[in-house]
Amino acid sequence: MHPHTKGRSAGVVVRALLSHAETCAVVDLASGQAWPMTAVNPAGLFEVFIPKRPAVFRYQLRTTRPGGELRQFFDPYSFLPTLGAQDLYLFNEGNEHRIYEKLGAQVRVMDDVHGVSFAVWAPSATQVSLVGNFNHWDSRYHPMRSLGSSGVWELFVPGVGEGEVYKFAIRDQQGTVRLKTDPYGTYFEAPPNNASVVCDVSRFAWSDVAWMERRRAQAGRLDRPISIYEVHLGSWRRKPEDANRPLSYRELGPVLADYVTEMGFTHVEFMPLAEHPFDGSWGYQVTGFFAPTHRYGRPADFAWLVDFLHQRGIGVILDWVPAHFPRDSFALAEFDGTHLYEHADPRKGAHMDWGTLIFNYGRNEVRCFLVANALAWLDRYHVDGLRVDAVASMLYLDYSREAGQWIPNKYGGRENLEAIDFLKQVNERVHQYHPGALMIAEESTSFPGVTKPVADGGLGFDLKWNMGWMHDTLRYFGKESVYRKWHQNDLTFGMLYQYAENFVTVFSHDEVVHGKGSMLYKMGAWHIAEKAANLRALYAHMWAYPGKKLLFMGGEFAQSREWNHDSSLDWHLCQYPDHEGVRLLVRDLNRLYSAQPALGQADFNPQSFRWISCQDADAGIISYLRTEPGEGSFLLVLGHFSGATRTYRIGVPRAGAWREVINTNSQYYGGTGLGNEGRRQTEDVVSDGYPQSINFTLPPLCTLIFEWTEAKPTPSS
């Protein structure tokens, strides 16, 4: 309906396309008056001019079908647009932080009428139509309204509700029609259909108020233990009796919570759960950025999982992928016939390693899409942080490119200034709206200030994966023990930059795939027992070393084979001492890390770490102290990574008894049991610059951790 003049008469004209209708009339809901419409096209196009009604009024359409069926319903075009000028202005400016509540499919009540408003950004389209089962996928029925220069197309469709599948039929400048899924869709069909599904994700009843209040109270504070268990949801545990299917979100919650609680991890980190068509991408090639994947249940089921973990005291971190997106024709690529979300020039818009496309971070609406996406996961699903994937590929224009394959920035440099500005913006907005949420960078270079606040010239992340330490340490432990004396630098070099950033010490999924070997098989030894001893020594060193912790699933029980995303972890291995011993050690290391202020609370305090000796490469020994700032407690860490048994004197800063709290050679962990009988007493022998020292027994391939306890007087006889 729209105002129209016919001759000297002012009125409104109403048109409707209704297939299989024999008659149609316009009904004024206020007066009940009806105006019969004229069929002007055999395809079902009806029209009527209503004179002396210059203003649009509230009406319905009344139709009859063959057989006399009578229907009366609202016309979608009788409703005003659901987006206002301010919404569109902020979106085009890149500052509508909750645009996910306005674009996409929003279940609404308009003028007391239930329905769904649809809105999509397609500025170069000549026509956009809504298609779905409700209109037989016929693009003639629901052409959307263009909201002017904003590039947004919108339509409220009464009577449509949750569960309806839909796509956008987008006609480009050349007349080609593309069927596209909703960039802001909240739920999707399974491949190969990939249609968006109307789903109201705002109605979940949360029960994690206490958790969220604690999280807010911890905003800006990293002086606490953070130990993360990285999980690929589809392969953590499966149902072999049910066609080997993965656990659903709701099935996973109780068993994962029990296991994580037993193991002492503080957080789980899920590999990407945003919708993706190809299982083999592990979730890193996203087509539905706002939708939890259909594979394990509905969006409400994912919310239930997060809520359940929160009630068990477990934080949830989600992998987030703003660095690239796949070329699938039904998704973002060439969305309106132009390079809308990606750069047109492949030197900036094509990812060389993964065959994917790179977001145009300089385009306001694209930046708005990505910032809102980050906020939506924290807002809708209460996740406690985002681990941002492939940050290095975003920071550098020449990432994985040869000369001539990239375009310098306006200053002639290699830094991607637009991506850097985007990362700063998203980190600031997350911390603004969700205090206490963590932003974690997977960044593999020495780019300065990744975890420095934006106000101080940094990128504004809270934490950064320590990829350098990981590579150096694995290179060392990958050598047979007899060759390690030439690689002592791999153990010590990382301390030169340890406090330059807020690091997470990680062994992630990337280290146990593509022929790299499992954590167990990386160890430089021939026999499983020796490999397990090496791995136990490595893990104890990792947990004692400064930095938050992350370990990929399966590594905690020394899975033998590489990770396979299509099958369950090999849980049956836990019946064997070499594997169960590693698991029990990781459990005890988490407990020690959380209980000792010198560890979890002092990760980023340079005064908490002190080398005692790190130069005896021939013996394969390192020793260092961890202490809280007030030095009220001390932990002595002894790493002995050669294959010999040694008696070795090490200086210590306090006289008295030093209690053995971890011995990775304990029989309990699968070792031989050789050690120091649970404690050692200092002697007044100068060593390593200290006036007292201890003569330790060092089993081969082990890490020992001792806690200082004040000397107690011997009872008189």
CATH code, domain with 118: 2.60.40.10
On whether residue 590 sits in a domain, the answer given is: no
Query: What is the model's pLDDT at position 326?
Result: 96
Q: For residues 236 and 571, what is the distance between their CA atoms, to the nearest angstrom? A: 9
Domain assignment present for 70: yes
pLDDT score for 21: 87
8 and 50 assigned to the same domain: yes
- Per-residue pLDDT at 54: 74
Which pair of structure tokens corresponds to residue 608? Answer: 């908490």
Q: Is 442 a catalytic residue?
A: yes
Is 57 among the domain residues? yes
Residue 5 confidence (pLDDT): 66
Which residues, 6 or more positions from 660, have their beta carbon under 8 angstroms from its beta carbon?
A: 675, 676, 677, 678, 679, 680, 704, 705, 706
Last residue of a domain, one of 179, 197, 215: 197
Is the pTM higher than 0.75? The answer reads: yes
Last residue of a domain, one of 75, 107, 138: 75
133 and 51, same domain (yes or no):
no
Number of neighbours of residue 591 by Cβ within 10 angstroms: 15
The residue from 75, 93, 109 where one domain ends is 75
Domain presence at residue 343: no
- What CATH number does the domain containing 683 carry? 2.60.40.1180
Whole-number Å distance between alpha carbons of 38 and 46:
5
**Are 654 and 699 found together in one domain?**
yes
Residues 705 and 619 in one domain: yes
The answer to whether residues 303 and 380 touch, using CB atoms and an 8 Å cutoff, is yes
Measured in degrees and rounded to the nearest 5, phi and psi for residue 505 equal -85, 120
> Exposed, middle or buried by CB within 10 Å (0-12, 13-18, 19+), for 245?
middle
Reported as a pLDDT band with limits 50, 70 and 90, residue 1 is low
Q: Is residue 225 within 8 Å of residue 543, measured between CB atoms?
A: no
H-helix or E-strand spanning residue 93: helix 85-93
Residue in 119, 129, 125, 123 with CA at minimum distance from that of residue 175: 125
Residues 120 and 66 in one domain: no
Domain-embedded: residue 321:
no
Q: Dihedral angle at the C-alpha atoms of 669, 674, 677, 681, nearest 10 degrees?
A: -120
The per-residue pLDDT for 198 is 98
Query: What number is the average pLDDT over the span 252-265?
Result: 98
Per-residue model confidence (pLDDT) at position 717: 36
pLDDT bucket at 44, cuts 50 / 70 / 90: confident
If asked whether residues 71 and 106 sit together in one domain, one would say no
Buried b (16+ CB within 10 A) or exposed e, 60-94: bbbbeeeeeeeeeebbbbbbebbbeeebbebbbeb
The mean per-residue pLDDT over the stretch 343-371 comes to 94
Judgement on whether residues 90 and 162 belong to the same structural domain of the protein: yes
CA angle 301, 306, 310 (to 5 degrees): 145
Q: Are residues 120 and 148 located together in one domain of the fold?
A: yes
Answer yes or no: do 117 and 61 share one domain.
no
Average pLDDT over residues 514-540: 96
Which pLDDT band, with edges at 50, 70 and 90, does 594 fall under?
A: very high
| Domain presence at residue 512 | no
Check if 389 is active-site: yes
φ, ψ (nearest 5 deg) of residue 519: -60, -40
Residues 680-697 pLDDT 10s: 999 999 999 999 999 999
What Å distances lie between residue 606 and 20, 630, 635, CA to CA? 77, 13, 15
Number of domains in the chain: 3
Q: Would you say residue 116 lies in a domain?
A: yes
pLDDT of 711 > 80? The answer is: no
Q: Is the pLDDT of residue 249 over 80?
A: yes
Q: Which of 319, 365, 442, 472 is catalytic?
A: 442
State the residue range of the domain holding 15: 2-75
94 lies in the same domain as 118: yes
What pLDDT, on a 0 to 100 scale, did the predictor assign at position 58?
A: 87
Alpha helices in 450-608 (DSSP H): 467-477, 489-492, 519-522, 528-544, 577-595
The C-alpha atoms of residue 426 and residue 369 are separated, in whole angstroms, by 11
| 317-460-452 Cα angle (round to 5) | 120
SS3 content of the chain, % helix, strand, coil (to 5): 25, 30, 45
Q: 393 and 323 in contact (C-beta within 8 Å)?
A: yes
Tell me if 349 is assigned to some domain: no
* Active-site hit among 172, 275, 384, 389: 389
